[in-house]
Amino acid sequence: MFGRILEHKITLAIGAIACIAVVGAGSYYFFKPSPHNFTTAIAQVRNINETITSDGKVDSDSHVTLSFKKGGTVSSVSVKVGDTVRKGQVLAMLDASDLYASLQGAQADVLAADANLSALQKGATVQTRTVYSQSISTASLSLATADQGAYLKVRDALQNKLDTLFQNGATSNPQIQIATESYTVRLALNASRADLTSRLDRWNKLISQNPTGGDALAEASADLLATKNFTDSLFAEANLLTPSNSGLTVSQISAFVASVNAAASEINSATSDFNSAAQAYNTARDQASVVEASSTPEAIIAAQAQIAKAQANQSLVQSQIADMSLIAPFDGIVGSVNPKVGEAFDASVPAIDVLSKGNYKIDIMVPENEIGGVMAGSQADVTFDAYGLGLEATATVATVDISETTTNGIGAYKATLYLNGSDPRIRTGMTGNVTIQGPSASSVLAIPTSAVITENGSSFALVESADTSYAKRPIQTGLSGGGWTEIRSGLSAGNIVAAFGNSSQ
């Protein structure tokens, strides 16, 4: 495009040289009339259409080079060069089988979290509450039975088995009847037996009031433990007995040991039954409490947080899958395709070019002396070097730069034109020859442009006089186009002017 601007400058230079020659010639003809051999032209009324010509490269309005965000093995390439694609279309993909498996898991987590929230928001149903209430009732009845049974077994173990080793065992002043390791041990065993009598009385009263109440259960647990410890102590003392240290026969000693063992077995059974029933009762109550408390605001907030977490994980996996694909950002045509199925392709390496379909533009440079005739909306005709006159198109000026661009000392302004319509033969990179239709003037006085001489910023023409001599006459010019220049003052229709080689008329 700058070649044409340079040609324009060269033309002006040659014109200047011609002007100097003309000035000399004009003076000669003015002072010495004689026959002349240059072409003449007649000032006449005509229409003038100004045109500006330049050239530029055809380019796409939108052109993007797509690259994968991550490296991997190419699993599919669904387009080839020249294919038309739609915005959002998948053009190529890397293998993402592992990510798709992760996505299924993430989606399942979202569904599970959502279901949990729905259940919490609905709360425990009447049927569910009824089931747990029945479980508590059953466990409570079992615990009351176990509590009563434990009391009876402990009383039987004390009064019918262990008291065989005591005199007045069930009174407030029991006395052990067998030899003990020491006097201190004897006193401790007597005190423990008396304490158990008091414990049994309290236990029995609490059972009659509320066998599963907190006080009754606590008393039962403490009394069972105290009875076990008392039995263990008696068992230790009974096993120390010998005929020599106790004055008892072997059969008497064996009977005492058997009684202690039987009491211990009965107490262990009572403890086991009671603990199992208490555990079942506590579990039933805890489960019912969880159901009743499941729909609290705190529980719902926690469930909502679980959904948000699951959804965030799902979005992350979906984003990772998206990074494994190349997506067309707009409707267009595929300009190049580099990936091949099965090959390893690195991230950020140019993969596929997409050009906007049919939205072609041409940037041209317009010299300063012609830029006044170019503005947004101006129409232009375009031919292409690749086709000569075999392909013509029209274009519209979209923008004109405000600032001048200087290249190799030549100043010009960039204008951007968009081709009207589309033709499959037009491709990016082709040279387009642009002719812009500038301003026009109708029925104006004009002379050939070659007859206009410019000197020191002023214009004039050599006008033939009656004696056939020629004299310089100042003129004011207007539009130029088609080899003719508008004359706004200085000449009249019919004046003969020197045209310097330009064809007349």
Q: What is the pLDDT of residues 364-412, one digit of tens each?
A: 998 887 787 788 888 899 999 999 888 999 999 989 999 998 877 778 9
* pLDDT for residue 22: 41
Report whether 92 contacts 42 (CB < 8 A).
no
Report whether 350 contacts 65 (CB < 8 A).
yes
* pLDDT for residue 11: 37
Q: What is the pLDDT of residues 268-279, one digit of tens each?
A: 999 999 999 989
- Give the fold, CATH level 3, of 126-293: Butyryl-CoA Dehydrogenase, subunit A; domain 3 (1.20.140)
d(CA 398, CA 105): 53
* pLDDT for residue 2: 43
Confidence band, pLDDT 50/70/90 cuts, at residue 20:
very low
Report whether 253 contacts 293 (CB < 8 A).
no
Q: What is the pLDDT of residues 60-104, one digit of tens each?
A: 877 789 999 888 999 999 999 888 889 999 999 999 888 888 999
d(CA 426, CA 391): 9
* pLDDT for residue 291: 66
Using a cut of 0.85, tell me whether the model's pTM lies above it: no
- Give the fold, CATH level 3, of 2-61+359-498: Elongation Factor Tu (Ef-tu); domain 3 (2.40.30)
Confidence band, pLDDT 50/70/90 cuts, at residue 21:
very low
> Is domain 63-95+324-355 in CATH 3.40.50.1950, yes or no?
no
Burial 359-369 (b: 16+ CB within 10 A, else e): bbbbbbbbbee
Q: Is 126-293 the same fold as 2-61+359-498?
A: no
* Domain spans, the chain: 2-61+359-498, 63-95+324-355, 103-123+298-321, 126-293
The chain-wide mean pLDDT, for the chain, equals: 84
C-alpha closest to that of 434 among 372, 356, 376, 378: 378
Question: Residue 46: is its pLDDT beyond 80?
Answer: yes
* pLDDT for residue 10: 32
* pLDDT for residue 50: 81
Burial 66-103 (b: 16+ CB within 10 A, else e): bebeeebebbebebeeeeebeeebebbbbebeebeebb
Question: Residue 159: is its pLDDT beyond 70?
Answer: yes
* pLDDT for residue 479: 83
* pLDDT for residue 126: 65
* pLDDT for residue 53: 87
d(CA 457, CA 16): 12
% of the chain beyond a pLDDT of 70:
88
Q: Which residues contact 126 (CB under 8 A, 6 or more apart)?
A: none
For residues 428 and 29, which has the higher predicted lDDT (pLDDT)? Answer: 428
* pLDDT for residue 242: 92
Confidence band, pLDDT 50/70/90 cuts, at residue 350:
very high
Asked which of 115-119, 383-387, 424-428 is least confident by mean pLDDT, the reply is 115-119
* pLDDT for residue 293: 60
* pLDDT for residue 36: 55
